[in-house]
């Protein structure tokens, strides 16, 4: 079964850091671009970042550039999101998703919740 | 960034109705558009990609059309499980922006 499982969410103070992980199984992880998407409480979906199969290309939404870093470890079938200088507006459920070759997202994890608050 | 605007933002309908949701891009995106369904507390689910291609396993009552800047998602005969929020997303250029969502509610 194709599956993505996020972890690492929690409560963090403004200015703090958090690292999210996404464990992939049931498919050849190294063959796919991967993505992070977030959803603030009661709000819509926001694409956050994409990473190429070998990690050589990365793209970010402007609001997280310079603060968040997407990475992956193909040997561990894992995707990561390092989040630094966190702000209240980063509070959201963070989903990892598999990106199909045309760049749409066909498999999603259940999400992990990040709360930035003092 | 390309802005995606959905209409309506909310919609009330009854089981068996035919409903249409519209998504407009602020610039041309060819057919690089996907539609997702999200139910409360759940992850989004891919319904349609490339504007009109039905994802495997998605019921045929869902259909998509359009290209360029104007797109539609149609549900031909609403079922109880279709009441959810629907999002369009462009993947023509980064950032891959979503529409604000359309909440489909039971009348």
Residue of chain B whose Cα is closest to the Cα of A105: B46
Whether A44 and B32 lie within 8 Å, measured CB to CB: no
- State the pLDDT at residue A107: 98
> Is B100 an 8 Å CB contact of chain A?
yes
Distance from CA of A63 to the nearest CA of B (A): 11
Q: What's the rounded mean pLDDT across residues A60-88?
A: 98
Residues 6+ apart with CB under 8 A from B81: none
Q: What is the pLDDT of residues B28-68, one digit of tens each?
A: 999 999 999 999 999 999 999 999 999 999 999 999 999 99
Mean pLDDT of B87-103: 97
What mean pLDDT is predicted for residues B59-84? Answer: 97
Q: Does the pLDDT at position A103 exceed 90? A: no
Residue A11 contacts residue A91 (beta carbons within 8 Å): no
Minimum-distance CB partner of B94 among A37, A44, A59: A59
Residues of chain A with C-beta less than 8 angstroms from the C-beta of B95: 47, 59-62
Disruptive mutation site among A1, A2, A45, A61 for chain B (greatest number of B CBs within 10 Å) = A45
Model pLDDT, residue A35: 98
Report DSSP letters for A49-68, one per residue. EEE-TTS--EEE-GGGTTTE
- Name every chain B residue with its beta carbon within 8 A of the beta carbon of A52: none
Residue B100 confidence (pLDDT): 98
The verdict on a CB contact (< 8 Å) between A102 and B91 is yes
Query: If you count residue pairs, one on A and one on B, with CB atoms under 8 Å apart, how many are there?
Result: 60
pLDDT-derived band of residue A102, with 50, 70 and 90 as boundaries? confident
Of B46, B89, B100, the CB nearest to A106: B46
Query: Residue A62's pLDDT is what?
Result: 98
Q: What is the pLDDT of residue B88?
A: 98
CB within 8 A of B98, min separation 6: which ones?
A44, A45, A46, A47, B4, B87, B88, B89
Chain B CB contacts of A47 under 8 Å are 89, 95-98
Beta-sheet pairing, B102-106 with B10-13: parallel
Q: What is the pLDDT of residue A101?
A: 80
If 0-12 CB within 10 Å is exposed, 13-18 middle and 19+ buried, where does residue A2 land? exposed
* Average pLDDT value for residue range A9-26: 98
Residues of chain B in contact with residue A50, where contact means CB-CB under 8 angstroms, are: 94, 96
Measured in angstroms, the CA of B101 and the nearest CA of chain A are apart by 6
């Amino acid at each position: 079964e194709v599956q993505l499982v996020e972890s690492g969410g929690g409560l963090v103070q403004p200015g703090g850091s958090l690292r999210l992980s996404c464990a992939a199984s049931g498919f050849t992880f190294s063959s796919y671009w991967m993505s992070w998407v977030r959803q603030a409480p009661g709000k819509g979906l926001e694409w956050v970042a994409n990473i190429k199969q070998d990690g050589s290309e990365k793209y970010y939404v402007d609001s997280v550039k310079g603060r968040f870093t997407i990475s992956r470890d193909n040997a561990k079938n894992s995707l990561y999101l390092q989040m630094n200088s966190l702000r209240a507006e980063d509070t959201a459920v963070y989903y990892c998703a598999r990106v199909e070759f045309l760049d749409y997202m066909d498999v999603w994890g259940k999400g992990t919740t990040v709360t930035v608050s003092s | 960034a390309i802005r995606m605007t959905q209409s309506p933002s909310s919609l009330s309908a009854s089981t068996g109705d035919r409903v249409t949701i519209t998504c407009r891009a602020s610039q041309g995106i060819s057919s690089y558009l996907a539609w997702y369904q999200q139910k409360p507390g759940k992850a989004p689910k891919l319904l349609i990609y490339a504007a009109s291609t039905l994802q495997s396993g998605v019921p045929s009552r869902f259909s998509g059309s359009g290209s360029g800047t104007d797109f539609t998602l149609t549900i031909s005969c609403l079922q109880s499980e279709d009441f959810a929020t629907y999002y369009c997303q462009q993947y023509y250029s980064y950032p891959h922006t979503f529409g604000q969502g359309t909440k489909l509610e039971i009348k």
